[in-house]
Amino acid sequence: MISLHSFIAEVTQLQTEYTEVIIKILNRPCGLNSKLTNVLRNFSRCSVLEVVPAECPEGGAPCVDGVCVPLDKICDGVPDCPDASDEINCVCCRYLSGSSPEKVCDGRLDCSDQSDEAYCGCQPSSQWFRCHMSESQECVERTQVCDGERDCLSGEDEQHCLALSPAVLVQEDVLGVPENHPQGYLLVRLSGMWYTYLYSMWKPYLSHLVCLQLGYYKAIKTDPRSLNLPVVTKAARSLDDGNNDLFNPWNYRVQRTDNNTVVHIKCLEEDPLAAQERSN
């Protein structure tokens, strides 16, 4: 008769081997059509360390030890898994992995905490940019973002090269898209870096193009703003070379200057007449 000690040792060994198999599955190249592989990959994308070695019937979600519980029991404040793993790491992405796995790492933010797009490869984000709109979602170097050349198949690395920011530091989401503000310092992204713009090189009529590019109605104010920095790095462009494409990074150059007066723009968010008609 097998001893209890031997039985526990054999079970432990089987669990170890099973976990190793699951990890190997997760590390296989993309393109596998197995439903199990897709479910496991989606769960692994919700956390850097989380691995869930199980597949559950429709409407169920796996605990770490393989037990299945209903989706509506995940992160409901009451432990349902034997190891209480259904109440650990309760981020939006984990719920989506069971209920709508196609929304995890699909290039669109579905979670308010952005967890559904946070662990999709191309890490660290300070060095890599994920082509989130392209089918292959390949990674390109940050220095290739807004360099004037399309590196992503869908061109998303060249889409967000201008921003208005209340501070010189631009806040980006996990997809590398800058926050949208109707007014602020004009920031230009060149080869992955954000730069203020030298006011003496700016033409106010271009502010309208900036506002339109950012989805607003028009520019209503363009001001020079002095930054309290001894030396500021700015983007500048020549308007006398016959090439007036505002949104092509090749038309910019970066320079160091002691003149720290930069461009600040305020946009009108929508057509007042359209807003009035909608309110009526």
State whether residue 178 is helix, strand or coil: strand
CA end-to-end span of the chain: 85
Sign of CA dihedral 144, 148, 150, 152: positive
Mean pLDDT along residues 70-98: 79
Sign of CA dihedral 135, 107, 186, 190: negative
- Measured from the Cβ of residue 221, the count of other Cβ atoms closer than 10 Å reads 12
Helix segments in the chain, DSSP class H = 4-26, 35-44, 92-99, 206-213, 272-279
Name the CATH code of domain 160-279 (choices 1.10.260, 3.40.50, 3.10.250, 3.30.70).
Answer: 3.10.250
Give helix then strand counts, H and E, for the chain: 5, 11
- 7, pLDDT greater than 90: no
Residue 176's pLDDT band, with cuts at 50, 70 and 90, is very high
- Residue pLDDT, tens place only, 239-266: 444 444 555 656 666 666 666 788 999 9
Evaluate the omega torsion of the peptide bond into residue 178 and state whether it is cis, within 30 degrees of 0.
no
What are the DSSP E strand ranges found in 66-121?
A: 68-70
What is the model's pTM?
Answer: 0.66
CATH superfamily of 121-158: Low-density Lipoprotein Receptor (4.10.400.10)
- 120, pLDDT greater than 80: yes
Domain borders along the chain are: 4-116, 121-158, 160-279
CA distance 264 to 225: 6
CA distance 260 to 229: 7
Q: What is the mean pLDDT of the chain?
A: 76
- Residue pLDDT, tens place only, 187-212: 999 899 888 888 888 888 899 999 99
Residue 78's pLDDT band, with cuts at 50, 70 and 90, is confident
